A = this chain, B = another copy of it.
Amino acid sequence: MTQATQYMHSQEPLLFKRGGALPAYTMAYETWGELNADRSNAVLILTGLSPSAHAASSPTDPTPGWWEPMIGPGAPIDTRRFFVISLNSLGSCKGSTGPASINPATRKPWRLDFPELSIEDIATASHEVVEHLGIEQLCTLVGPSMGGMSTLAYLQQNPQGARHYLNISGAAKSEPFSIAVRSLQRELIVSDSNWKDGQYDDENWPEKGMRMARKLGMLSYRSAEEWRGRFGRRLQNYFPPEVFGMNYEVESYLEAAARRFIHSFDPCSYLYLSRSMDWYDAADGHPNLAAALQGVQLQSAYIMGVDTDILFPPHQQQAIANALSEIGVKTGYSQLPSIMGHDAFLVDHDHFGPNVSAYFKRICAEDALGG
């Protein structure tokens, strides 16, 4: 959270899908560009599991954001034309209310007393921010990864909530492989001797569990093909030798990435957000996904996936595109030939930039948004 972070403090209770409620809550967000006079140029980005609201730099906070090449003046999401909003998810720990926030009733962190979080709750809280900003309808709703789930939930809750929709490496439900990965990540954290049913503290942090959960995450976020070219069988010499320690560069890469993560994210937030993804199935209570999305009033949609993504494999994006087409939305679909796996949208700008840019140019033309 920096000078660029803005906050919505709601004193209205937020009722959770699975029961329970927050008596009051805060949502952290950042914005870029200017909302136009008729409030028709807003782009809302709902993030993946771990990012903060800081998607891009700005004069107020010049540090690079997690989607730096995508957002800015002249960038694919061009802030000379669009008013861009990026939220920190409900349940996260980067300014929005989550299990690490203070429970007003106890004046201690919520931890396991936080209500059971669903993707639908993330969508509900996100919409409150849009209302708070006085925006009746988004120009474009954007969701990569977990954001591909929470944006679908947003559209189900607000069928006229956006005119255009960009879903990147998302899914309309969790499949067993991704559930298995996340379940093992959670098991790693709760098996750490410092977990103590959520009563860890800064001095007794579930470091091992967080470290290994992050490594497992990396295994599912990247691709074998990328690592083959990037690391091959090169030996590592960064970390000292240990009995059954690291031998190869791929191991030291994962170790370094995991160490950066351990203290950057709250373990409880991680568990709550991770589980919310497992639970998500947009078609719950409907015969199929098209029926579940019936009534959604989009002018256009663009669904993107990556052929090496093993966590949210391309057939899941194809399913979203098919369902939107079926309900009459003009829908484009691209399966990008990137070797960067699920994380491609974060790191493979060469493949994503031009496609996202072209989609936003079409949106500008269709909505007659000037330069």
Contact = CB atoms under 8 A, between A and B. Distances in A.
Contact of A177 (B174, B191, B224): B224
Given A232-B176, A313-B224, A208 B191 contact: yes
Contacts of A227: 175-177, 180
**Interface class of chain A by DSSP:** helix
Contact of A219 (B177, B187, B230): B177
Interface in A157-196: 173-181, 183-184, 186-188, 190-191, 193
A259 interface: no
A224 B175 contact: yes
A222 to B, nearest CB: 8
A271 B254 CA distance: 19
B250 A179 contact: yes
Contacts of A248: 176, 179, 183, 278
Contacts of A278: 247-248
A336 interface: no
A296 B3 CA distance: 68
A360 B224 CA distance: 34
Nearest to A250: B176
A246 B231 CA distance: 35
A13 to B, nearest CB: 24
Contacts of A254: 180, 183-184
B176 A188 contact: no
Interface in A255-291: 271, 275, 278-279, 281
A191 B174 contact: no
A333 to B, nearest CB: 20
A232 B186 CA distance: 20
A197 interface: yes
Contacts of A183: 246-248, 250-251, 254
Contacts of A197: 243
Contacts of A218: 180
Contacts of A193: 193
A215 interface: yes
Nearest to A177: B224
Given A179-B233, A180-B227, A191-B212, 19 more contacts: A175-B224, A175-B228, A175-B233, A176-B227, A176-B230, A176-B232, A177-B219, A177-B223, A177-B227, A179-B250, A179-B251, A180-B215, A183-B250, A183-B254, A184-B212, A184-B216, A187-B244, A244-B271, A248-B278
9 contacts: A176-B231, A176-B233, A179-B250, A180-B219, A183-B246, A184-B212, A188-B188, A190-B243, A244-B271
Shortest beta-carbon contacts, A-B, top 6: A177-B224, A176-B250, A176-B227, A176-B231, A183-B251, A191-B208
